[in-house]
């Protein structure tokens, strides 16, 4: 391929709306073009990258006995009604009607379609286990697409669904898939991806893992224990608090706290640490706007995922009206009257001598003992784990919080979908049972962007050989020089004949232009033919990541390049 | 792959709703499953077939300098508003709004997206020509999906778009693409596909060709000249009629024709041939329901595509009300009064002594001479060409009408989209010009079904080696026999080691079951290991199309099979 003919524009200026580097570089390098909010077209270089990623995924899915199938993008609403998700999933599920007014949805995940495809096939226990997967376009009507390909509305995803007759069998397969994922990320050039325990969210099921590329620009927060290696998404990490209970419980006392609203103000006014305050955070259920008042220790934050899971319904931060009976800024558990769901975080269990709102404007209490004063006996885990917090696995106070991009996920779904959709098999004792499912996703475009995020410099992406749009970027500096042009042309021919993927830049532009374009295309091997090099009878072979730069005689160049391609192609896999 | 593990069901009974064989066989063979009207999921065998077809297409598109890109499935309506097609295309364009009430469409073709992707890139004449293509899911909300994968709503399509600075350059590229298409169909196993001139329909542009697989079950009708090889879609084929004008024009005479409505009845009552009658066919414009009355010779049918193109608007057969002024069954050109568009087909040009409706209940005229009695001077081609009709190319009366499935199409679009969407380039004289476009489509699933339609018997598809789901179907008859099982297992291992794609049936089922499953999977090479064969130290290698069946020693089997695969892989290409 001649660079001169490559459709797409490359440019120097970082687009002002790009928050993360991969987004900026993939626009600047002519990889993709904005079409609509969260929707992009791909130019050839990105399409070549995603096709290679797809092929790596396909090979690894086939290696764990996956069968490639294809589900529709447009699905009848009836399938989602069967599972209950037509109602339960929010606006990210795009619903519409076709010309005959039939209700349809755009597939954002395909559990329903998978069960539909195999529910007659899987009637006998002897058919199990099996796994089917597809690599297909999906659409999720995200409220806030961002970060280029990191969070889009339309995306290509590999989604896999396994079916089992026992939890043990699912767990075995889940482990196989976990290992396949490690191989996929290693082969794609980001072996540093870690798996973390995660919340199953709208997917249902018990156990799930996310594969995270740790990077400060990630959207997700991950709790990692520096001592034992525990890793979990902040949404799911258990918060453990060892409370200090004072020997003597003071008396409950109403204190005038004029013009004081925030926890910080209250604590400083009362001269008490935040750990000794009982903070109120108020939500409303999306379904009926009813109020949920959650009390937790003043220094902690609410983990809304835990609260949502506990309530079994979606919530939003409350709008506190004058009529609702809550006194904004002065809400406390003592004598709180009204029709609210009141919940207590474990961080308050056993605590005494707390400050809290007085449920009266401009008044707080001190000396609160929840068990003594409010008869509270139920405490649950609703708080976010914190930096320096206690590890739920080893118990040491060694939690650090990192940011990460989720590049894949695996879920143990259980029988949620097979039960809802009436898929059963006959076991050896002629008993009807529901198969147990697992599901396994990888976003192709997001993986490409993540690799770029992990491997780039200020000049462009540094693609790993395994997924690079081309393997060799051949530059003919001064192509107006007949000797250089002939030599580069010959090398181009020879490399193509040997099966190398070459992008060839023989434009009559400055070496500076040439190299900045090459930097943006990020091809791992660069070969430079120039009149100056030719005087010594050599060309230059350099790595995009600057790990080497060597001069090789023209005669030996093709051999050397082919060897380098091979060496760089296969990263060490365990 | 072991057949025992293949997800999907095979069955004997032809589903009652299947009109064509490929539909029935692809359901019976576990290739696909109905999800909704015109929407299917694919099982592994079909996905393997479509992936091979996609790869053949990709190689041939790359060979004519195509650059693979990817456009979104979900497109903003604004792009289609730019081209004008948001308004002009009917209900087959699926329109909806997203969560923010933004108007979107599902891409059914991507001219707009293609222009959007390259309109900044293509600013200089030096960038031309170039071609971009994608292989992607599309959705067309067909009113009447039918024939399994032949006419669906969701489908995978290769669509390509080329951009040029002159008509000559487009024509050259159009020819290259025409040849690439011939190679694609030949490689996919249907070299018999013919290209026919076609109507450009909603795509716009001047010249277009459809690639047709001729088969009685095809949806399209094609006029073919048995003398000169002229081929055109019936929609576009010019109808040439040499009228016989009687030497003497009789007098116009009103005749009482009680209870006579149809052309046949009138002609038989008046004892005149249909060629001597002037028939009225009435339509209404979709836009405002205004009436269009078309007169043509009684023995001919209206070509609605020609009429639509002439009017420049969509039409439907008229509902003739009492108030509209038309007398159903008695409509004629003489003294036809009312607010109608009245048109005349060329078949009436110069004709005399015609019968026609009297515009009065129960009366017809005879002796009509259109030019004399009605002052008609404009005649256009609105009729369908007929079997035995005159060839527009060689002038001989040697037209035959065949049926065909359209497996691909190519269009010379001209500047319709670049003008509408404001894509311009600067030519060498610094003048701004609109690039000229071509577009080129192939439906992947329809091509698979067409190959099945062309190559099957009553027992199943007969897939060509190039696109077969597997290359070898290995049957171990009597796998309870240890020797047979060991031999088959060994051959399975050996063939896989050599890179053959093998589906291995080692189930303990009858040979009859085994072979009927193999017939349904249609794998071109079948290898049978059985205790009986083993007594002679041989296995049987047979072609699914019955072209050969040989016995080969076990030792020589793998070699022989690999040779056969190679031989069957490459059909002769010109």
Q: Does the pLDDT at position B150 exceed 70? A: yes
DSSP E strand stretches across B72-219: 74-76, 95-97, 103-106, 130-139, 154-164, 194-197, 208-214
Of A374, A392, A410, the residue at which a domain comes to its end is A374
Pair of tokens at residue B501? 């794609």
Residue B121 lies in a domain: yes
Q: Is residue A3 part of a domain?
A: no
The residues facing B134 across adjacent strands are B159
The SS3 of residue B230 is coil
Residue A247 lies in a domain: no
pLDDT of B573 above 60: no
Q: Which region among A19-28, A319-328, B171-180 has the lowest average model confidence (pLDDT)?
A: A319-328
Q: Note whether A283 and A294 are within 8 A (CB).
A: yes
Q: Is A504 domain-assigned? A: yes
Task: Say which CATH number the domain at A312 has.
Answer: 3.90.960.10
Provide φ and ψ at A201, rounded to 5°. 55, -140
Mean pLDDT, chain A, integer: 94
Quote the ipTM score: 0.91
Place of tokens 């701004």: B432
* Same domain, yes or no: A42 and A124: yes
Q: How many helices (H) and strands (E) does chain A have?
A: 15, 30
Q: Residue B416 — pLDDT band, cuts 50, 70, 90? A: very high
- At A85 the pLDDT is 95
Is A382 a member of any domain?
A: no
Distance from CA of A549 to the nearest CA of B (A): 31
A444 and A479 in a common domain:
no
Nearest-by-Cβ selection for A5 from B48, B130, B136: B130
Q: Are residues A180 and A56 in the same domain?
A: yes
The confidence score (pLDDT) of residue B571 equals 61
Angle at A123 between CA A120 and CA A125, to 5 degrees: 145
Same domain, A177 and A124: yes
Question: pLDDT at position B266, please?
Answer: 86
Q: Are residues B185 and B50 in the same domain?
A: yes
- Chain B residues whose CB is inside 8 A of the A97 CB are 96
**pLDDT band (50, 70, 90) for residue B479:** very high
A59 touches chain B (CB under 8 A): no
Same domain? For B327 and B360 the reply is: yes
Same domain, B367 and B419: no
| Pair A142, A48 in one domain | yes
Residues of B in contact with A132 (CB under 8 A): 7, 44
SS3 B94: coil
**What span, in angstroms and rounded, lies between the C-alpha atoms of B60 and B63?**
5
Question: Would you state the pLDDT for residue A369?
Answer: 93
Check whether B203 has a pLDDT greater than 70: no
Mutate to test the interface with A, among B11, B37, B68, B70 (most CBs of A within 10 A): B70
Residue B322 has a pLDDT of: 84
pLDDT in tens, B53-103: 999 999 999 999 999 999 999 999 999 999 999 998 989 999 999 999 999
pLDDT category of residue A270 using cuts at 50, 70 and 90: confident
A474 and A447 in one domain? no
Amino acid A395: pLDDT: 93
Residues B66 and B169 in one domain: yes
Asked if B419 and B520 sit in the same domain, the reply is no
Q: Considering the domain boundaries, does residue A384 fall inside one? A: no
A484 C-beta neighbours (distance < 10 Å), count: 21
Residue B459 contacts A, CB cutoff 8 Å: no
Nearest by CB to B116, from A35, A47, A143: name it: A35
- With pLDDT > 70 as the criterion, what percentage of chain B qualifies? 98
Of B202, B252, B136, B191, nearest to A51 by C-alpha is: B136
- The reported pLDDT for the residue numbered B133 is 98
The CATH number of the domain holding residue A496 is 3.40.50.800
Q: Summarize pLDDT for A323-365 with one digit per residue, the tens.
A: 888 998 899 999 998 899 999 999 999 999 999 999 999 999 9
pLDDT at A145: 94
SS3 A315: strand
> What pLDDT is stored for residue B201 in this prediction?
60
What is residue B264's predicted lDDT score, i.e. its pLDDT?
Answer: 86
Q: Give per-residue pLDDT as tens, A220-240.
A: 999 999 999 899 999 889 999
pLDDT at B313: 87
- Helix, strand, or coil (residue B237): coil
Domain that holds residue B562: 470-569
- Tokens 């092929």 belong to A55
Report yes or no on B362 lying in a domain. yes
Mean pLDDT of chain B: 94
Work out the pLDDT band at B346, boundaries 50, 70, 90: very high
Chain center to CA of B29:
24
Per-residue pLDDT at A79: 97
For residues A160 and A133, give the distance between their C-alpha atoms in angstroms, rounded to a whole number. 4
pLDDT interval class at A197 (50, 70, 90): confident
Q: What average pLDDT does range A279-304 have in this prediction?
A: 94
Is B19 part of a structural domain of the chain? yes
pTM, full prediction: 0.91
Range A67-82 average pLDDT: 98
Interface test with B, best of A46, A67, A110, A445 (most B CBs within 10 A): A67
Q: What is the mean pLDDT of residues A192-199?
A: 89
pLDDT in tens, A112-147: 999 999 999 999 999 999 999 999 999 999 999 999
pLDDT of residue B243: 81
- Extract the tokens encoding A293: 């008042």
- Top-ranked range on mean pLDDT: pick from A193-202, B363-372, B486-495: B486-495
Task: Count the neighbouring beta carbons within 10 Å of the beta carbon of residue B539.
Answer: 27
Q: How large is the average pLDDT for residues A199-218?
A: 80
Number of domains in chain A: 3
Which CATH number fits the domain that encloses residue B431? Answer: 3.30.930.10
Task: Say whether both A115 and A206 belong to one domain.
Answer: yes
Q: Are A561 and A527 in contact (CB under 8 A)?
A: yes
CA distance A10 to chain B (A): 10
């Amino acid at each position: 391929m001649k660079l001169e003919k490559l459709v797409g524009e490359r440019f120097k200026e970082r687009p002002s709306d790009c928050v993360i580097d991969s987004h900026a570089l993939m626009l600047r390098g002519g990889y993709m073009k904005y079409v609509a909010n969260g929707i992009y077209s791909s130019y050839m270089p990105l399409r070549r990258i995603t096709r290679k990623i797809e092929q790596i995924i396909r090979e690894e899915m086939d290696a764990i006995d996956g069968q490639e199938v294809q589900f529709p993008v447009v699905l009848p609403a009836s399938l989602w009604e069967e599972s209950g998700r037509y109602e339960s999933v929010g606006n990210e599920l795009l619903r519409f009607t076709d010309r005959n007014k039939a209700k349809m949805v755009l597939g954002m995940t395909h559990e329903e379609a998978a069960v539909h495809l195999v529910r007659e096939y899987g009637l006998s226990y002897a058919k199990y286990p099996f796994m089917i997967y597809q690599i297909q376009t999906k659409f999720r009507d995200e409220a806030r697409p961002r970060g280029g390909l990191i969070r889009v509305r339309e995306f290509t995803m590999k989604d896999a669904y396994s079916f089992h007759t026992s939890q043990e069998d699912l767990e075995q397969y889940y482990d196989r898939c976990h290992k396949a994922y490690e191989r996929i990320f290693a082969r794609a050039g980001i072996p540093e991806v870690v798996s973390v325990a995660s919340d199953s969210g709208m997917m249902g099921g018990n156990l799930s893992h996310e594969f995270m590329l740790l990077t400060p620009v990630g959207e997700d927060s991950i709790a990692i224990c520096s001592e034992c290696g525990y890793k979990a998404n902040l949404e799911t990490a258990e918060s453990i608090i060892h409370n200090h209970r004072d020997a003597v419980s003071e008396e409950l006392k109403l204190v005038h706290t004029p013009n004081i609203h925030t926890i910080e103000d209250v604590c400083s006014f009362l001269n008490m640490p935040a750990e000794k305050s009982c903070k109120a955070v108020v939500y409303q259920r999306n379904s009926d706007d009813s109020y949920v008042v959650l009390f937790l220790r003043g220094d902690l934050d609410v983990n809304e995922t835990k609260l949502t899971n506990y309530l079994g319904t979606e919530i939003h931060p409350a709008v506190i009206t004058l009529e609702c009976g809550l006194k904004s800024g002065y809400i406390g558990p003592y004598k709180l009257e009204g029709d609210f769901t009141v919940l207590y975080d474990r961080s308050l269990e056993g605590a005494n001598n707390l400050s809290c709102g007085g449920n009266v404007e401009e008044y707080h209490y001190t000396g609160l003992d929840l068990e003594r004063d409010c008869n509270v006996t139920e405490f649950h885990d609703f708080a976010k784990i914190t930096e320096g917090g206690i590890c739920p696995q080893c118990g040491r106070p060694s939690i650090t919080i990192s940011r990460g991009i989720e590049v894949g996920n695996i879920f143990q779904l259980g029988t949620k979908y097979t039960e809802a959709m009436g898929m059963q098999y006959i076991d050896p004792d002629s008993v009807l049972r529901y198969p147990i499912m697992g599901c396994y996703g990888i976003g192709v475009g997001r993986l490409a962007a993540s690799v770029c995020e992990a491997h780039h410099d200020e000049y462009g992406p540094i693609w790993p050989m395994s997924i690079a749009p081309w393997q060799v970027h051949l530059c003919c500096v001064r192509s107006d020089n007949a000797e250089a042009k002939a030599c580069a042309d010959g090398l181009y021919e020879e490399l193509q004949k040997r099966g190398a993927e070459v992008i060839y830049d023989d434009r009559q532009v400055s070496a500076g232009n040439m190299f900045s374009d090459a930097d943006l295309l990020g091809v791992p091997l660069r070969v430079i033919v120039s009149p100056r090099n030719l005087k010594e009878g050599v060309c230059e072979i350099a790595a995009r990541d600057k790990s080497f730069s060597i001069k090789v005689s023209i005669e030996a160049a093709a051999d050397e390049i082919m060897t380098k391609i091979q060496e760089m192609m296969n990263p060490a896999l365990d």
